[in-house]
């Protein structure tokens, strides 16, 4: 065999579909993006095999780490259709950080994982820029991550993202719902729209049933604009309330909607009565419901219906909590109350506005 014939037989990693140089370029682009989220507790830089985060000194009696992991789901399909990748990273952070918040924890750091068929450095940088934006909103550091190039596993422009958040709370301050009592009030914090749940149904309605395109007009905007609005992150407002008041229960309205998530924090014997006309709903929800003739129960299981987070608090604190939330840019609404459970229903939807207490100064 000649030397030329031997050369023809040589295979490289790039021949197998993995471009190491493109990966290096992606790291070069994303490094300053991740560094923009660092604080004095971050002890490693991008490129280390793991991330280090200093926990001391702490002002907590019994510090407890709180962790959560999640992905973005099929909302990524919309981002790929639109070739717009700078917002889904915010969704990724929000899904885990909002979960960590529900137990009263302050987010500390976040790790991301990105897998795709082939590395496009600018696309990777856009995705990580979204993650960094989410981390800045949450007040946490993007401590590190992983980008995996897997030709033969992912096809074409498909990719997936996963994330992992870690927060910290004092053991005595953990929110677990165990002290929720009859008479407590529910305060809803608005969502930006669909957030990151229900997209399998949304895509079926928008693209299959209605036959819309990614750039079709929708509700005064475009399909892409409406469907890619990033999930809201509630860290600033929730932590501001916790500095002054006790929150007895926190619900991140994510997969399963209001009907499936509120019961997760309620003690036995309690139910939540929610008055569904108490808050304004983004128009996308009525649009989808009408287009697919969705029953009310299905809507409140599939979507957040305009609420991204629900607080359960003592009646005496409602007025001040609402003021704190408004001072932090929220538009909160008192949406219901905790009552005695009757039968199997843990959440009751009432097509009305939430009544005020006799003492209307309460909120």
Shared domain for 249 and 137, answered yes or no, is: no
pLDDT in tens, 200-228: 999 999 999 999 999 999 999 999 999 99
Shared domain for 11 and 118, answered yes or no, is: yes
Report whether pLDDT(85) > 80: yes
State residue 194's pLDDT score: 98
Shared domain for 198 and 317, answered yes or no, is: yes
State residue 36's pLDDT score: 86
> Residue 112 sits in a domain of what CATH number?
3.30.1330.10
In percent, how much of the chain has pLDDT > 90?
75
Q: Find, among 281, 261, 289, 284, the residue nearest to 333 by Cα.
A: 281
**Virtual torsion, Cα 171, 173, 177, 182, nearest 10 deg:** 140
pLDDT band, residue 83 (cuts 50/70/90): very high
End residue of a domain, out of 173, 203, 231: 173
Looking at the DSSP bridge assignments, the partners of residue 26 are none
State residue 13's pLDDT score: 60
Q: How many domains does the chain have?
A: 2
Shared domain for 351 and 286, answered yes or no, is: yes
Helix or strand holding residue 163 (H, E):
strand 159-170
Report whether pLDDT(26) > 90: no
Shared domain for 18 and 164, answered yes or no, is: yes
Position 180 in a domain:
no
Helix or strand holding residue 82 (H, E):
helix 75-82
Position 351 in a domain:
yes
Shared domain for 200 and 162, answered yes or no, is: no
Shared domain for 71 and 19, answered yes or no, is: yes
State residue 357's pLDDT score: 73
Average pLDDT over residues 297-305: 96
**pTM across the whole model:** 0.91
pLDDT band, residue 50 (cuts 50/70/90): confident
End residue of a domain, out of 139, 173, 207: 173
Shared domain for 189 and 169, answered yes or no, is: no
Position 348 in a domain:
yes
Shared domain for 240 and 166, answered yes or no, is: no
Cα gap 175→183, rounded to integer Å: 18
Shared domain for 164 and 256, answered yes or no, is: no
In the predicted model, what is the mean pLDDT of the chain?
91
pLDDT in tens, 165-201: 999 999 999 999 999 999 999 999 999 999 999 999 9
Which residue range(s) make up the domain with 312? Answer: 185-362
Position 178 in a domain:
no
Shared domain for 82 and 156, answered yes or no, is: yes
Shared domain for 20 and 144, answered yes or no, is: yes
Position 263 in a domain:
yes
State residue 130's pLDDT score: 96
């Amino acid at each position: 065999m000649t030397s030329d014939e031997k050369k023809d037989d040589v295979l490289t990693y790039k021949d197998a579909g993995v471009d190491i140089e493109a990966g290096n370029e992606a790291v070069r682009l994303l490094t300053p993006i991740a560094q923009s989220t660092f604080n004095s507790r971050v002890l490693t830089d991008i490129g280390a095999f793991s991330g280090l985060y200093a926990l001391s000194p702490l002002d907590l009696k019994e510090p407890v780490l709180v962790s959560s992991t999640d992905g973005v789901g099929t909302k990524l399909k919309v981002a790929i259709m639109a070739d717009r990748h700078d917002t889904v990273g915010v969704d990724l952070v929000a899904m885990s950080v909002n979960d960590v918040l529900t137990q009263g924890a302050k987010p500390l750091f976040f790790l991301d994982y990105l897998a795709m068929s082939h590395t496009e450095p600018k696309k990777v940088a856009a995705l990580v820029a979204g993650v960094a934006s989410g981390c800045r909103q949450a007040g946490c550091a993007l401590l590190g991550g992983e980008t995996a190039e897997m030709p033969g596993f992912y096809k074409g422009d498909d990719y997936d993202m996963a994330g992992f958040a870690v927060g910290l709370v004092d053991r005595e301050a953990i929110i677990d719902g165990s002290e929720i009592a009859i008479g407590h009030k529910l305060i809803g914090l608005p969502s930006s729209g669909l957030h990151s749940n229900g997209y399998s149904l949304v895509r079926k309605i928008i693209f299959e049933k209605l036959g819309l395109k990614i750039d079709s007009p929708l509700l005064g905007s475009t399909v892409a604009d409406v469907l890619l609005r990033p999930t809201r992150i509630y860290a600033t407002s929730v932590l501001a309330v916790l500095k002054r008041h006790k929150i007895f229960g926190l619900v991140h309205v994510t997969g399963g909607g209001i009907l499936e998530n509120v019961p997760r924090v309620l003690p036995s014997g309690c139910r939540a009565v929610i008055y569904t006309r108490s808050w304004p709903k983004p128009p996308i929800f009525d649009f989808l419901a009408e287009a697919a003739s969705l029953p009310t129960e299905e809507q409140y299981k599939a979507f957040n219906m305009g609420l991204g987070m629900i607080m359960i608090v003592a009646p005496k604190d409602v007025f001040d909590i609402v003021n704190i939330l408004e001072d932090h840019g929220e538009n909160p609404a008192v949406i219901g109350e905790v009552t005695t459970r009757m039968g199997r229903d843990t959440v009751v939807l009432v097509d009305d506005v939430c009544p005020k207490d006799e003492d209307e100064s309460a909120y």
